[in-house]
Chains A and B, each alone.
Chain A
Amino acid sequence: MRIGMIDWKKDLEILMSKLTEGKLSKDEEKQLEKILRSNPEARNYYLSYIDVDTALEEQIGIPNFNIMNLSIQETSVSIAENKSNSVFLGYWKLGISVAAAIALLLYLFNGNPNSATATTIKSLLGSVKIIQQNGNELMNPKMGTSISTGSTIETVSMGSFVELEFPDQSIFTLSDLSQCVILRYDSNYRELGDLQFYHAATPSVEDNLKNWAEFNECKTLTISEKKLNLVERLKGNETTVINYKNDSTGCDVELWKVAGGIHVEEYSSEMKKMMIDWILSKKKIYK
């Protein structure tokens, strides 16, 4: 009896690890069902495991918008479509608006920092204090300021916000009253204080868009410079629209890129309407 209990627990532990990674095979799914069907204790373990996993996502994780991205994957256009599909437009609307918002929030463009620089200030709001390794304060830090290894960065007021960009274009954010030390940077690691970050090959927003376009066979690229006015504080049309289209399949993939945009932006009152109108003008393709 005891051995049996240990056996299911061992198996279930392996299965749960794979489940949370999304790597359960068909056979393993069957094995999971079998263990849970026959054993209330196993069900309790299963539920607790997912509870802890979900709670860790809530506590540590950054909101996961893969769900929203999935909407984009399924989103494309079909000319002939019946009215019952309109419910999907809603699904889309939420999906794409969040995905587009994320793209807009995350997308920041700047020149490449030079190779000797550990990191560069990508955007800045409020006050930030930078003490270099030699103890001297780096005066007037602003967007584009290079920061060398060993410097300490400190946001000195509530509401302050600084984004640091690393040579591989990854971003680290510091906000309100916080501090970090840039210990080192190489092509595989960046080390901030006692935190090490391993650089996974994460595609840029534009590469991501290109991937979606290729996936959906959207072949025609149109770049409309300064087409939209989305941000209150920036005068005129600051947003470039990058669009991949294929009229024969109806597919349509688009990125709105804010020149001079920062992480947290005040968008114009028209922005939401423009986004929703864009989404609602599309329909869903069924493959």
Chain B
Amino acid sequence: MQDKNQPFQLDEEFVAMLTEAQQRLYGFILKRLVDHDQSNEVLQLTNIVLCRKANDFKKGTNFMAWALTVANFQILSFRKKQSRDRLIFSDETFEQIVEEDGKRSDDTPSRLFHLKECLKKIDKEDSKLLKMRYEQRLPFKEIAAASHKTSNAIRIQAHRIHNRLMNCVEKRMR
């Protein structure tokens, strides 16, 4: 573990792995906390711990598994410190989510692979919506304005795409 008062000594490979892991770490935390601000906070704390413990990480081992373990501890610690009314999930629901997500975590790389394949089947108009939503990060309201549709119509279209992708991924994974 690095000295808290010293600057981090991070090699490029570590920084690349940490950067690549950000989205998955965020998704992992968001599932457990639901709230975006809380999830950002825990992700930041997770990043600090990962940087501080960079020397403990053994090259060639599974970085993501290690990062998720750290994130898990940070989530538990965060939940402990929060007052009950700030937490969205009760202990019971939280444990259920953790348990069920635990069964799925190993599948993530293949989920990503199948999603790539499923995305190839998306038509042009849907693909345009996904780009606006995920690449340009536009809210539905602005996508609606750009597409000359109502926000609700865009929301429904996004839903349909999401459901289609979910079904496609699940089907391919069976």
Contacts and interface: CB of A to CB of B under 8 A. Distances in A.
Nearest to B130: A60
A33 interface: yes
Contacts, number: 156
Contacts of B22: 63-64, 67
Interface string A40-60: 100111111111111111111
A24 interface: yes
A37 B92 contact: yes
A213 interface: no
Interface string B1-43: 0001101100000000001001110110011001110001101
Given A43-B97, A51-B111, A57 B104 contact: no
Given A43-B96, A47-B101, A59-B119, A24 B26 contact: no
Interface stretch (A91-99, A148-156, A174-182, A239-247): A91-99
B139 to A, nearest CB: 7
A61 B93 CA distance: 30
Contact of B112 (A59, A64, A194): A59
Contacts of A188: 146
Interface string A156-196: 00000000000000000000000000000000110000111
B162 to A, nearest CB: 6
Contact of A67 (B26, B35, B131, B143): B26
Given A49-B166, A86-B4, A276-B7, A55 B132 contact: no
B48 interface: yes
A196 B135 CA distance: 12
A200 B4 contact: no
Contacts of A280: 7
A71 interface: yes
B135 A53 contact: no
Interface in A86-111: 86-88, 90-91, 93-95
Interface stretch (A13-21, A114-122, A137-145): A13-21
Contacts of B138: 198, 200
A168 B119 CA distance: 31
Contact of A46 (B26, B31, B44, B115): B31
A61 B23 CA distance: 10
Where chain B touches its partner, the secondary structure class is helix
Q: What is the size category of the interface that chain A forms with chain B?
A: 35 or more
User: What 10 A-B pairs come out closest when comparing CB atoms?
Assistant: A54-B27, A198-B146, A60-B134, A91-B48, A61-B134, A22-B36, A90-B48, A37-B93, A55-B115, A29-B88
Interface of B: 4-5, 7-8, 19, 22-24, 26-27, 30-31, 34-36, 40-41, 43-45, 47-48, 51-52, 88-90, 92-93, 96-97, 100-101, 104, 108, 111-112, 115-116, 119, 124, 128, 130-132, 134-140, 142-143, 145-146, 155, 158-159, 162-163, 165-166, 169-170
Given A55-B111, A60-B135, A63-B19, 8 more contacts: A24-B34, A29-B34, A54-B24, A54-B30, A62-B135, A64-B26, A93-B51, A196-B128
Interface of A: 13, 16-17, 19, 21-22, 24, 29, 32-33, 36-37, 40, 43-64, 66-67, 70-71, 86-88, 90-91, 93-95, 188-189, 194-198, 200, 276, 280
22 contacts: A24-B34, A32-B88, A40-B100, A43-B96, A50-B30, A52-B165, A56-B165, A57-B27, A60-B135, A61-B134, A70-B40, A70-B44, A91-B47, A91-B48, A94-B51, A194-B124, A195-B128, A198-B136, A198-B138, A198-B143, A200-B136, A276-B7
